[in-house]
Amino acid sequence: IGYEHAWNLPLIDAVAGRVPHDMVLEATTLPGVVMLELDGIVQVQNGDAAVVHEVDLAQQATGYDGSGVTVAVIDTGIDGLHVGLDDMDDDNSTDDPKIIGFYDPVNNPDKVNGTEVFPYDDQGHGSHCAGTVAGTGAPTFEHPGMAPGAFLVGVKVLDAGGSGSFAVVMAGMQWTVDYRYEYNIRAASMSLGGPGPIEWTSSEEDSVNRFANEMVRAGISMLIAAGNSAAPATIGTPGGAEDVITVGALNKNTAIAEYSSQGPTEEGRVKPNVAFVGSDVMSVAHNTGDGYVAFSGTSMATPGVAGTVALMLQANPDLSPFDVRNILQETATYRQCHYMLANEPCGEDLIPKNRQNNVYGHGHVEALAAVMEAAQRDYQLDDSIGVSLETPMGHDNRIHLMPGDAIEFTIQGEVDSIQWRSNHLRDDWATLHGYEAGSEDVSLDLLTIVHQLEHLPGVTLDGN
């Protein structure tokens, strides 16, 4: 059929390449082909934020600066010659690069070990984002990043014009997962997006969204820009992915920025998750050597949250991506929707217990509270206690329950009570009343889950 192979994408059991348009239907009949998806195009989503979100207080109160944590910036590249990004201590006599890995599937797809291509940026967007995440602020130190002690990995998936195909973006995402242990990549900042297939398919059928979700499940916190379309229901790919942390933008007065995209997603999912200052953000100006420039957009808000996440992970390296998301949401300051449109309050604002809304998400990030909460979380069980999952997971790494089904666990050790909750923070922890103290067998059945969720405002349960 004339297929020209480009990329292997094992994280989502897919390949990317080219097929003549008159052979597309025939390609669907090939053995092993479950679905064909049209490639699409994504584009860039174009020192006060640290004070607004108390990042400076978090650094001062705890001493954390992101040390030991690596953040991947999946964007247009990173300028490895800028003084704010070239090394850790701003001393040219030492060999301590800040950018410890770099992959360029746009122009050098075969050089995959992370050290063969010197970090560069022929557009500027990625360098600005990288500076916000972890720049040192050199030479004047007026505009440091949120986590100046963190390492960076650059993944160049967008060209000099600031755009790139879904296939190349996913190739960069796959590389990030493949090298996550080598570089200790714990978070990734992606300030890019586009409409693409999300306009006519669900999130789990859209490859970029699926890829983002799988990266979260692989242990990488994904911070993704909501977009700059300034209207309801305009969050596209990959910001609409379920498991990522989608970031809206605030102006300097902490009101929602007029350009910040709003939810819901195509599937009706409430997004964004949180908001961060994205207007007039000063950061690295690429190819200037030591210059800084102000940009605005959800692109500028997203790396601010990524830097905050680096502080949280330094405080507690045991946090999972879901822990990180939950803490950011729990500690955020709730903001009502009608801050955006005074005459159109959101239904969520009328609920006594405030819920995530489609303008601010759970609210604006409070870095000090988030870092302190992260440091206090301890998920280590006592050595005498163990938990084993007995119910097998499906091919999608999830457990699907039909009526009468349950999730079965085995407990080793003496346990008095068990609590559970949804990782979407739909409610507080619920006690599992059917569990008998000291029992080895634990069962969380579908009916218990439904009863816990169905009474919540704005939640509709259907099917299985």
Catalytic annotation, residues: 75, 125, 299
Asked if 269 contacts 300 with a C-beta cutoff of 8 angstroms, the reply is no
Q: Which residue has the tokens 């039909």?
A: 402
Q: Which amino acid is residue 343, in one-letter code?
A: N
- Tally the C-alpha atoms within 13 A of residue 450's C-alpha that lie toward its C-beta: 13
How many other C-beta atoms can be found within 10 angstroms of the C-beta atom of residue 245? 27
Is residue 326 within 8 Å of residue 313, measured between CB atoms? no
257 φ, ψ (degrees, to nearest 5): -70, 145
> Is-contact 241 274, C-beta < 8 A?
no
Largest CA distance in the chain: 67
Cα(154)–Cα(175) distance, rounded to whole angstroms? Answer: 11
B/e letters for 380-391, b = 16+ CB within 10 Å, e = fewer, are: eeeeeeeeeeee
Q: Are 255 and 278 in contact (CB under 8 A)?
A: no
CA nearest to 433, candidates 452, 412, 419: 419
Rounded CA gap, 459 and 355, in Å?
Answer: 11
DSSP 392: P
What whole-number distance in Å separates Cα of residue 179 and Cα of residue 150?
17
Give dist(CA 282, CA 296) in Å, integer. 9
CA distance 314 to 337: 33
CB atoms within 10 A of CB 403: 9
Instruction: Tell how strand 430-431 and strand 419-420 pair up.
Output: antiparallel
In angstroms, the CA 177 to CA 329 distance is 25
The residues near 310 (Cβ < 8 Å, ≥ 6 apart) are 66, 69, 71, 133, 134, 146, 147, 150, 186, 187
* Strand residues in 413-459 grouped as ranges (E): 419-420, 430-431, 441-445
- The amino acid that residue 130 corresponds to is A
> Which of 365, 303, 370, 373 has its CA nearest to residue 71?
303
H and E: helices and strands count for the chain: 11, 19
